[in-house]
Amino acid sequence: MAVSLSFPIPIPPALLHAAAGIALAAAAHFLHLPSLFLYALHTYIHPDAVPSNTPRAVLRPPGDNAGPAKGSSKRAAAKDAFDATSAQLYRLRLSHGTLASRPHFGAYHAAFLLPLALLPPALLLPAASAVSPLAPLVPAAFLFVALLRHVVVPSPRPAQLAAALGALLVATLLSSSPFAGALASLAALPAARFARAFWLGTDQPRTGLAVLASSAPARLLLHLAVLVSSVASILQCCGFVDGAEQEVRLLAAAAGLQLLAARPAVQMYLNEAVFCWYQRLHASRAPDTEYGRAKVFLHNHHLCAVATQLVAPPLLVLSLLALWRVQGKDFFEGVEGLDWLVGWSVAMKEAALLAAWWVMAVWSAVTVITLVCYKRGWLFVL
């Protein structure tokens, strides 16, 4: 519901929306709110050579001390081809500086920044005829493009992105089903990745490693995100939700929990590399350190890309719900020169709610199915 504000000097609503959006974007940018969301998470490095003045490693092979045994002979050292000192991992805390050096940090930063800057003014400030209905479209379109880049096409051309957005908008005017299906299909891969993080975060493999252990609040968030999202999808599918308002509240609560659970999910993505490294280190008498080295490097390198995949579906649902809230025939009806947008606004209002529900339903279904596959032993974390 919009908040009525009284100013001594009348301010045009469009100018007020623009000023509020710029102020929120500047505050979020200078406070590094997207980086603050991942602040103090632990990432790991597997150095090629371990200097003598480095801090103590967070993981070592069992029975391995800080250095070789004092009574070991030169013959035994020559016989052992495996260098135990290289089988170490070092843990670093994430900060804005370390995150900014990762690839795809700009996409992750903008995925957080646009909803924070554009959704609150559109929902809380007095309605502007041309700004309020169109403001949530910007973060929704950007999140669609971000998921398209990270899920379907790794490096699309600008012409391909423009064609995809144009086809999506044209299909929305004809029917809301293609719009909802296109958005919902992009949530499948992030849901499978979240299920993998849930499997490790709740210690389902029973590793017993202290490095992989999650805190009680993190495990609670992971469970609540899956439970509330599944319940919201089932209630809507079975017709137990009375009215659009109740449906919007359920979807908003589920999306908020998914967004909060994205932080421990990113930590589990980083811990997955440690789990795979530890498996390969003790899988045979000749440990495969090259695979573990590559796994740790790739998970550290693609951190921001995976974080974008995990936060994009809940932010997309929230943007679609905001789009449903601000759309309607009242915005364009009677406005000179914009009467032709009345039908588009009504269609967009219906399509936004349908797409939000489908994104939530696909995310919940893929997450639960993936967890069942892990539980039955059909999928493994390697």
| Alpha helices (H) along the chain | 13-30, 33-37, 74-79, 96-100, 105-124, 137-147, 158-174, 176-185, 188-201, 216-238, 243-281, 289-301, 303-326, 329-332, 342-376
> Residue 366 has which token pair?
């893929």
Q: Kindly tell me if the per-residue pLDDT of 238 is higher than 80.
A: yes
CA–chain centroid gap for 153, Å, is 18
What b/e readout covers 294-332, taking b as 16+ CB neighbours within 10 angstroms?
Answer: ebbeebbebbbbbbbbbbbbbbbbbbbbbbbbbbbeebb
Quote the pLDDT of residue 329.
47
Least confident of 44-53, 262-271, 319-328: 44-53
Q: Kindly tell me if the per-residue pLDDT of 244 is higher than 50.
A: yes
Segment 281-301 mean pLDDT:
79
Q: What is the DSSP string of 140-163?
A: HHHHHHHHIIIII-SS--HHHHHH
- 77 assigned to some structural domain: no
How far is it, in rounded angstroms, from Cα 368 to Cα 226?
A: 8
- 254 assigned to some structural domain: yes
Quote the pLDDT of residue 218.
92
Quote the pLDDT of residue 225.
96
Cα Rg of the chain, angstroms = 25
- 132 assigned to some structural domain: yes
Q: Kindly tell me if the per-residue pLDDT of 92 is higher than 50.
A: yes
Least confident of 57-71, 170-184, 239-253: 57-71
Q: Please, what is the average pLDDT of the chain?
A: 79
Q: What's the structural domain count of the chain?
A: 1
Quote the pLDDT of residue 127.
63
Whole-model pTM: value is 0.83
Quote the pLDDT of residue 234.
93
Q: Kindly tell me if the per-residue pLDDT of 51 is higher than 50.
A: no
Top-confidence residue, 241 or 65: 241
Is residue 42 helix, strand or coil? strand
Place of tokens 């914009």: 338
With residue 92 as reference, give the H or E element that holds it: strand 90-93
- 69 assigned to some structural domain: no
Segment 234-252 mean pLDDT:
88
Q: Kindly tell me if the per-residue pLDDT of 16 is higher than 70.
A: yes
- 167 assigned to some structural domain: yes
Top-confidence residue, 367 or 6: 367
Beta bridge partners of 181: none
Q: Kindly tell me if the per-residue pLDDT of 366 is higher than 50.
A: yes
Residue 102 to residues 40, 92, 273, 306, 310: CA-CA distances in angstroms? Answer: 16, 14, 17, 11, 16
Quote the pLDDT of residue 330.
53
Segment 97-125 mean pLDDT:
88
- 134 assigned to some structural domain: yes
How far is it, in rounded angstroms, from Cα 65 to Cα 53?
A: 16
Quote the pLDDT of residue 36.
93
- 333 assigned to some structural domain: yes
Segment 127-132 mean pLDDT:
61
Quote the pLDDT of residue 115.
92
pLDDT band for position 78 (cuts 50, 70, 90): very low
Provide the domain limits for residue 290.
20-39+101-376
Q: Kindly tell me if the per-residue pLDDT of 381 is higher than 70.
A: yes
pLDDT band for position 38 (cuts 50, 70, 90): very high
- 91 assigned to some structural domain: no
pLDDT band for position 262 (cuts 50, 70, 90): very high
Quote the pLDDT of residue 245.
87
Segment 126-148 mean pLDDT:
78
Quote the pLDDT of residue 265.
95
